Amino acid sequence: MEIPELPPYDHHPRPYIGPSFEEVMELRKRYLTPALLTYYNNPIMIVEGSMQYVYDEKGRRYLDAFAGIVTISVGHCHPYVLAKAREQLETLQHTTTIYLHPTVAEYGKMLSEKLPGDLGVCYFVNSGSEANDLALLMARLYTGNYDIIALRNAFHGGIASAMGLTAHSTWKYNYPHSFGVHHAIAPDPYRGPWSHDDPEAGAKYAADIKNLIDFATPGRVAGFFAESIQGVGGVIVYPDGFFANVYKYIREAGGLCIADEVQTGFGRTGTHYWGFETQGVVPDIVTMAKGIGNGAPLAAVVTTPDIAQVLAQRIHFNTFGGNPVSCAMGKAVLEVIDRENLNRTAWRWGVISWKPCKSSCPNTR
Ligand SMILES: Cc1ncc(COP(=O)(O)O)c(C=O)c1O
């Protein structure tokens, strides 16, 4: 296969002086869990990154279309994010939320202002799985119900509770983890029973959820969990009206609607800042991770003041949640997305690579 040539780029990777590829491979095989996977027959060792590019130990440059599994939202080692991280690292690395710190407080305000409706209270954690675990807890405590509706083909993380929400055998170990979770038909307009040419597809997929509520639960549910576009499951964009109908059924059954924005948040869809906006709904809880920190171990659960109050029944504590370095990076990411209009950039690339997007881009013209 002919290897395409990359355009010129003014960055010279540092000479690599660490252990060789073979040594790293040996160390990894000997000391890291065998559950790890690598891509490609000949895996790549990545030792440096600069914006959209990464470099291997030999200084070869690659276009990082995967962006660290959808995490590098504004570019590898983006100079502004780097400057803010460095400034914070050199000042104070960690305390915990037991003490006041300006960055986490300011960041909470900035992030809340990005969300619609009453969504305005943030809990910071370290990963998407943890954010989903916390959202699950909040939904169950707030509603007093236990049953959860999720979707087949969903991915919500690898910790036990998130594995229960996930619906791919690839990521589900053979041990009890899904108690109380019911998985509805994936609203997949390509492979599912109702396709793009059926204007009622969204309502029909939603009807399966109503059916699940009526027949597989006590008729009352704690909530509905869904990625706003299924990411790991193959970028499944739901038919119009799906969320609007589901949210109605869930709320009628006493439940909360939870949007997993781990992959779709922070302008990645191009048309909107949040993926759920493409379906014209406002969730009760939003979970976010990955692109939130451009590589910082940062994630968040954002909800309404009323729902947030439920956790105040006990102490909720998370050692690294709200860490000043992660929050400084999170803040910088929000600023860069706005300043560089990355939402619009994502939309422009969407138009080039996926024509149907052209007709529905309200926010970015
Ligand atoms: C939609 C979605 N939710 C949750 C997660 C879990 O996030 P983390 O790996 O940070 O725990 C992922 C990770 O890929 C994801 O894609």
Residue having the nearest C-alpha atom to atom 4 of ligand 1? 156
The finding on whether 71 has its CB within 6 A of some atom of ligand 1 is no
Strands 256-260 and 285-288: parallel
pLDDT at residue 328, rounded to an integer: 98
Question: What are 170-211's pLDDT values in tens digits?
Answer: 999 999 988 999 999 999 999 999 998 999 999 999 999 999
* Rounded Cα distance, 360 and 253, in Å: 32
The finding on whether 289 has its CB within 6 A of some atom of ligand 1 is yes
Of 73, 117, 78, 121, the residue nearest 264 (C-alpha): 73
Q: What is the identity of the amino acid at 235?
A: V
Question: How confident is the model over 123-142, as a mean pLDDT?
Answer: 98
Q: Residue 354's pLDDT band (boundaries 50, 70, 90)?
A: low
* Rounded Cα distance, 11 and 198, in Å: 50
Helix (H) or strand (E) holding 225: strand 223-227
The finding on whether 131 has its CB within 6 A of some atom of ligand 1 is no
pLDDT at 359 > cutoff 90:
no
- Return all residues near 87 (Cβ < 8 A) that are at least 6 apart: 328
Q: Which residue has the higher pLDDT, 37 or 108?
A: 108
Question: What are 234-277's pLDDT values in tens digits?
Answer: 999 999 999 999 999 999 999 999 999 999 999 999 999 999 99
Residue having the nearest C-alpha atom to atom 8 of ligand 1? 128
Q: Residue 3's pLDDT band (boundaries 50, 70, 90)?
A: confident
* Rounded Cα distance, 168 and 306, in Å: 33
Ligand 1 pocket test, pick from 37, 286, 290, 298 with the greatest ligand atom count within 8 Å of Cβ, gives 290
Ligand 1 pocket test, pick from 134, 156, 236, 276 with the greatest ligand atom count within 8 Å of Cβ, gives 156
pLDDT at 365 > cutoff 50:
no
The finding on whether 232 has its CB within 6 A of some atom of ligand 1 is yes
Q: Residue 319's pLDDT band (boundaries 50, 70, 90)?
A: very high
pLDDT at 357 > cutoff 90:
no
Average pLDDT in the chain: 94
pLDDT at 360 > cutoff 60:
no
